[in-house]
Amino acid sequence: MATKTYMNSAGVADEKIAGKYQGLSREQLIEAYRLMYTSRKIDDREILLKRQQRIYFQISGAGHEAVGVAAAFALKPGHDWFYPYYRDRALCLALGATPYEMFLEGVGAADDPNSGGRQMPSHWSFPKLNVVTQSSPTGSQILQAVGCAEAGRYFAAHPDAAKKGGGDYREFKDVTFHGDEVTYVSLGDGTTSEGEFWEALNTASNRKLPLVFVVEDNEYAISVPVEVQTPGGNISRLVVGFPNFHFEEVDGTDPVETYAAFARAAAYCRKGNGPSFIHAHVIRPYSHSLSDDERLYRPDAERQQDAARDPITRTQMFLLREGILDEKGINRLEKQVEDDLQAAVDQALEAALPKPETVTEYVYSPYLDPTSSAFDTQPAVATGSDGKKPAPKTMADLINTTLRDEMRRDERIVIFGEDVADCSREEYLQEKLIKGKGGVFKLTAGLQAEFGSDRVFNSPLAEANIVGRATGMATRGLKPVVEIQFFDYIWPAMMQLRDELPLIRWRSNNGFSAPAVIRVAIGGYLTGGAIYHSQCGESIFTHIPGLRVVFPSNALDAAGLLRTAIRCDDPVLFLEHKRLYRETFGRAPYPGTDYMVPFGKAQVVQAGTDISVITYGAVVPRALQAAQKLEREHGVKVELIDLRCLNPFDWETIAASVRKTNRVIVAYEDTLSWGYGAEIVARIADKLFDQLDAPVRRVAAKDTFVAYQPILEDAILPQVDDLFRAMKELSEY
């Protein structure tokens, strides 16, 4: 097919790559063939090794080799950034990864640079080359690539932000950036059906980001043909409406033409014109993976048609036809590749395997422990000139002030989310026509006005977009502190939250990390909040290894824990109870610019001897009321424990309390069954069985959603009376 280059909407003319072979030298063409052939032969060796059960999975890059080599020739490893997918073996080889490193991943060796035996083969991660750890969910890399491109641009505009800071995560996060860098992201034709692909096009287009999107179109997603995924069967036709893009549609089995397309695309991005989109038509000669047999859904004739376009034979014929290599030269090159691969396989099969006791290494940062005393500081409340202490502030106020002070301290912090900006139409702010919004709960009010629109800005209404971009930014060393407007709407971001953000460090064996903060407004007791503005569900997130989960119940803790979340080196889900934002309970004067509460340290709200009540969030003030009433009316002394942080949680404080009182209730706002309390109760039953004088009780919401009518809401959520009754019953047991 002929390459189609579309004029971009900015009207900038395409870069012409001069000379024969689109500017590639004869040596480069030979090298291209060597890399492509190596890639194919690695696949062949892996297939053999899999059949011999010496590796455990195989997915090939066969048919996609020309695209990878062409891209690598037009881009720069260690300078540009790469979010490839599993078919990009040739890309990684051409960027500088070695066959030995690839075989190490196949055997799952300790020294596998991709993951140290944690990921399947072809899940690339080469920190030295700026190839960022890749996962298995199709398309989840795309929004992260957007965030990566945004980070590069941010550091170019704020070079001081890249400096190593002291006393927080910045000590362990080296930042590199180049003003003309480009981010490469690739995906298959089937993956264009994922919503995150479209969310990424949206932001890349809107922000004119230097991103090269590459769709490697082999016309199949396992057994599903392209016309089922893509209306009309051609993705190029669907995306042309996106402004600011440069588009290329190319025969991706032709390395020379594909190189030219990449060179034009990269030049367009480097100039700052916007993103590029390369649609490369390729083939898939080896079935989807070794677990698939394409003969079940593709007739021979179709497969033969593909085979006629095989990029390996095509390029070999090209070299012969052009007199660049003769048959002898080809044979010599191929023999050399095969000998080298044999040596690499032999070496990889001898490589040391990872030790079982290392499995939990790098779930969290090995450098900075947010439970340590480094994050334990005292409030410093400034007294006014009149000698008076400042007025107590609400949780909402203190979160806002903490964000502001941390942004002043650390230029790497950026804030985005839905409605978090004061006003996206900056001129209204500048002309002082409006006051500005700053979040639906006003938690980010005034931050855009102080720090500017490149540090505080609105995202599109798309939650995966928020978390995916934050992950990419954090990988590069920024500290995104993003907002999910309502916990009830966190679910579109669930793939990013469950399979990406918390896993970046572990799955790359500490090659990369992404310590972002996700602030989420959560919870009910709102009177009228109903089903979709009242949900809890924190246990779904405490169940994710690698994610810290925090849930403060008062203003002082919110300030201290938020500062710890921002300065620490792990991803944090920071849950803010909407009902507590402006509550009278738990107000506090601003505790100063360095106040921190360590993670995993509970607060004993009131000491007692008769029952332990373990809770957190909006149940804390309710349990306190019930406990006070119980003491007043029945003389029962409740020890009330506010966990404050749910992962990690403070087992020592719980255990000490249960040893003292021998009776325990775990109370939480979420639905009773399978909730956060289940884990705490199970631990108590397991570890403290002989300390108990009564069954371990839970008080929680009914197993339903929160209803709109206040009578129903009251009946569903745990109330002071429910807590009182349970405490009284247990004290009498």
Site for ligand TPP in 172-211 (CB under 6 A): 187-191
With binding defined as CB under 6 A, does residue 141 bind ligand TPP?
no
Cα–Cα distances in angstroms (integers) from residue 668 to residues 407, 523, 620, 672, in the given order: 33, 11, 9, 8
- Residue 152: Cβ-neighbour burial (10 angstroms; 0-12, 13-18, 19+): buried
Determine the number of helices (DSSP H) and then strands (DSSP E) in the chain: 25, 20
- Residue 279 binds what, of ligand TPP, Mg ion, none (CB under 5 to 8 Å, by partner type)? none
Instruction: Return the range that interacts with ligand TPP (CB under 6 A); candidates 212-220, 236-244, 622-630, 640-648.
Output: 212-220
Q: Which of 448, 538, 440 is nearest to 488 (CA)?
A: 538
User: Whose structure tokens read 């738990």?
Assistant: 586
Angle between helices 327-350 and 311-321 (to 10 degrees): 140
Quick check: 61 binds Mg ion (CB under 5 A)? no
Residue choice 38, 58, 122, 138 for contact with ligand TPP (CB under 6 A):
138
Q: Is 611 exposed, middle or buried (0-12, 13-18, 19+ CB in 10 A)?
A: buried
137 touches ligand TPP by CB under 6 A:
yes
Residue 543: active-site member: no
Q: Among ligand TPP, Mg ion, none, what binds residue 309 when CB lies within 5 to 8 Å by partner kind?
A: none
Query: Which residues are registered as beta bridge partners of 701?
Result: 671
Report what 136 binds from ligand TPP, Mg ion, none; CB cut-off 5-8 Å by kind.
Answer: ligand TPP
Distance, in Å, from the CA atom of 128 to the CA atom of 101, rounded to the nearest integer, reads 13
CB distance 573 to 548 below 8 Å = yes
**Toward ligand TPP, which CB reaches closer, 468 or 621?**
468
CA distances for 351 relative to 297, 421, 507, angstroms: 39, 52, 19
Q: Which stretch binds ligand TPP (CB under 6 A): 132-140, 252-260, 345-353, 426-434?
A: 132-140
Q: Residue 338 belongs to what H/E stretch? A: helix 327-350
When asked if residue 60 is in the footprint of ligand TPP (CB under 6 A), the reply is no
**Gap between the Cα atoms of 23 and 665, Å rounded:** 74
CB of 77 to ligand TPP, least distance (A): 22
Where do the DSSP E strands lie in 513-602?
517-522, 548-550, 572-577
Q: Which is nearer to ligand TPP, 105 or 216 (CB)?
A: 216
Catalytic residue among 123, 533, 543, 577: 533
Residue in 218, 371, 444, 661 binding Mg ion, rule: CB under 5 A:
218
624 to each of 6, 586, 600, 666, how far by Cα in Å? Answer: 66, 12, 21, 13
Backbone angles phi, psi at 188, to 5 degrees: -90, 170
Q: Are 131 and 84 in contact (CB under 8 A)?
A: yes
Taking CB under 6 A as the rule, which mask of x and - marks residues 64-103 in contact with ligand TPP? -----------------------x----------------
Which residue number, 77 or 190, has a Cβ lying nearer to Mg ion?
A: 190
Among 117, 188, 311, 560, binds Mg ion (CB under 5 A): 188
CA 588 to chain centre: 34
Query: Where does this chain touch Mg ion (CB under 5 A) — which range of 180-188, 370-378, 502-510, 550-558?
Result: 180-188
Chain position whose Cβ is nearest to ligand TPP: 188
Which tokens is 594 given? 């360095």
Q: Under DSSP, is residue 604 helix (H, G, I), strand (E, B) or coil? A: strand
Choose from ligand TPP, Mg ion, none: what does 87 bind? Cβ within 5-8 Å by kind: ligand TPP
Q: Which range binds Mg ion by CB under 5 A, 211-219, 393-401, 600-608, 719-727? A: 211-219
Among 136-144, 159-167, 462-470, 602-610, which window interacts with ligand TPP (CB under 6 A)?
136-144
The entry of ligand TPP, Mg ion, none near residue 170 (CB within 5 to 8 angstroms by kind) is: none
Which residues lie near ligand TPP (CB under 6 A)? 87, 136-138, 187-191, 216, 218, 220-222, 284, 288
Which residues lie near Mg ion (CB under 5 A)? 188-190, 218, 220-221
Which residue numbers are catalytic? Answer: 533
